[in-house]
Structure 1
């Protein structure tokens, strides 16, 4: 190709609108989960797989907690994990018992990771990623943080970090509580809130990244294996695409240069992007506002349960 043509192509790419550079991977935590407020575990897995296929998501990552397999309400969890892999997705280590690092020693925490690793060893679709439960890397205990970071490195594991978080666990918990209490749940409003929250969280992360990094890294969205995802993952993907997001695999996301960053901040808990922004000196809030429960919970009650109207 002639040099002048190469220059024209490069100039055109540089001139593309920012939306064309927005890429995001979808990841699901706490697999396999027990029965939810609406679906059996088998129904939920089938719907998530079907929704991802319908939305043409190339690859999602499911972070596994093998200790969940002992829950009798979630019988068949190993079969469901295999179903995700058979559908073209990947699985990764999320610890054996989902502990908070702040509540135990680094040695005990690493032993829990090893226990999960022993269960996962040899399974198909297993990249070398570990995701911290609760996104807790030790809080303000830098010695513990660094000990676990070093332990992961010796095990050949990298941080399965998150950059986009909409606290879907809170939406799910509020829905389960409402169902248990016999309250009417407006399903259309719940769908809209679920989709809107996650799309807005991605947009927030895009803006934060531009400020903290001066560019748009490949984002990683945190979801959980919930009934809400089973119902509306295709709607969520459609909402992201309307905002210009391209859905990519987690393997692409974790090749972004930010994967090599280990921010040194006063408290190591939360998204990687938040920590990067904190280290860069950006003022709070460095997180999407609906991750603040005093904001998210009243919004849910007003819009989904129609309380206080």
Structure 2
């Protein structure tokens, strides 16, 4: 197995960058509270160290400044500054993480403005907005278009994602197992996290090629979680061994697909899914483990060893 990984890594280095699969990393919901294994400070330090060791020069951290006033948010501003000092960038994920479908356009844009006021003039800030829950209004086209116009007027662009492995659900399953006192196979958890995201990257890349005829620079959706702090280095190594080049968030968002404005019956999910739907490609247009029932069953079997 080690020989195979070494050969894959050598191949990846030998292939021209333009011919490689490319992916950037992003982490949502910053600052996050205590998880199953680490305090917020411990998690941030570990994430920064692991990204540096893995030679990831620039990831994107999408912020909810409203969390800074929560008890778990204490010290969050220092952790955000530490990400930026390490070379990473920060962007707007709203102030309070609302669902667009549960908000008026006016309230939603005001929430974005509140986050933007906190982000303005801070080092490392990028003019990107990521929709909470990747919810762009679902079937409400009037609301969707009004927010799109509002973002454009504010000089913000959609901080879309093209690859999603539902890491938030793996984190939730892990936290519940820990709270319930269930023994977890940590090596199996590592493999589950890594395999899920490598498979997701390849699924969405193949879908993008079917849709657009090429492999774009992808943006992977992750969250500021304990499992990311534990296994992000392993994930980066596995992606590279599989032929992926890790690129900066700036590089990913320079890809032309960022200019695509899809028009499909319901807007929520990855840009890859929405573009495939618009082209008329049949479902499923999402990675299998994004079905949380399936992911839960696999987690229980592989990590908890429950039959």
TM-score (norm 1): 0.93
Residue in 1 aligned with 2:129?
A: 130
Quote the Cα distance in structure 2 between the aligned partners of 1:90 and 1:17. 26
Quote the Cα distance in structure 2 between the aligned partners of 1:276 and 1:102. 21
Quote the Cα distance in structure 2 between the aligned partners of 1:108 and 1:279. 29
| Contact kept? 1:139, 1:269, Cα under 8 Å | yes
| Contact kept? 1:20, 1:244, Cα under 8 Å | no
Q: CA deviation at 1:67?
A: 1.0
Alpha-carbon displacement from aligned partner over 1:130-161 (angstroms, at most 9, x marks no partner): 00000000000000000000000000000000
| Contact kept? 2:190, 2:231, Cα under 8 Å | yes
Quote the Cα distance in structure 2 between the aligned partners of 1:284 and 1:18. 31
Cα RMSD for the two superposed structures: 1.2
Q: CA deviation at 1:18?
A: 10
- Answer yes or no: is 1:36 the counterpart of 2:35: yes
- Answer yes or no: is 1:82 the counterpart of 2:81: yes
What are the ranges of 5 or more consecutive residues in structure 2 without an aligned counterpart?
A: 1-14
What are the ranges of 5 or more consecutive residues in structure 1 without an aligned counterpart?
A: 1-15
Alpha-carbon displacement from aligned partner over 1:170-191 (angstroms, at most 9, x marks no partner): 0000111111111111111101
Residue in 2 aligned with 1:173?
A: 172
3-state SS, counterpart of residue 128 of structure 1: strand
| Contact kept? 1:19, 1:245, Cα under 8 Å | no
Residue in 2 aligned with 1:59?
A: 58
Residue in 1 aligned with 2:250?
A: 251
| Contact kept? 1:164, 1:220, Cα under 8 Å | yes
Quote the Cα distance in structure 2 between the aligned partners of 1:185 and 1:31. 26
Quote the Cα distance in structure 1 between the aligned partners of 2:235 and 2:224. 14
Quote the Cα distance in structure 1 between the aligned partners of 2:17 and 2:141. 37
Alpha-carbon displacement from aligned partner over 1:227-284 (angstroms, at most 9, x marks no partner): 0000111100000001100000010100100000010000000000100000000000
Residue in 2 aligned with 1:13?
A: none
Quote the Cα distance in structure 1 between the aligned partners of 2:254 and 2:20. 16
Quote the Cα distance in structure 2 between the aligned partners of 1:107 and 1:267. 21
Quote the Cα distance in structure 1 between the aligned partners of 2:16 and 2:45. 37
Residue in 1 aligned with 2:197?
A: 198
Quote the Cα distance in structure 2 between the aligned partners of 1:19 and 1:118. 38
Quote the Cα distance in structure 1 between the aligned partners of 2:100 and 2:215. 30
Q: CA deviation at 1:17?
A: 8.6
Select the structure of larger CA radius of gyration: 1
Alignment CA distance shift 1:115-1:18 (3 Å): closer
Residue in 1 aligned with 2:155?
A: 156
Alpha-carbon displacement from aligned partner over 1:97-142 (angstroms, at most 9, x marks no partner): 0000000111110000000001111100001000000000000000
3-state SS, counterpart of residue 87 of structure 2: coil
Quote the Cα distance in structure 1 between the aligned partners of 2:273 and 2:170. 21
Quote the Cα distance in structure 2 between the aligned partners of 1:78 and 1:205. 34
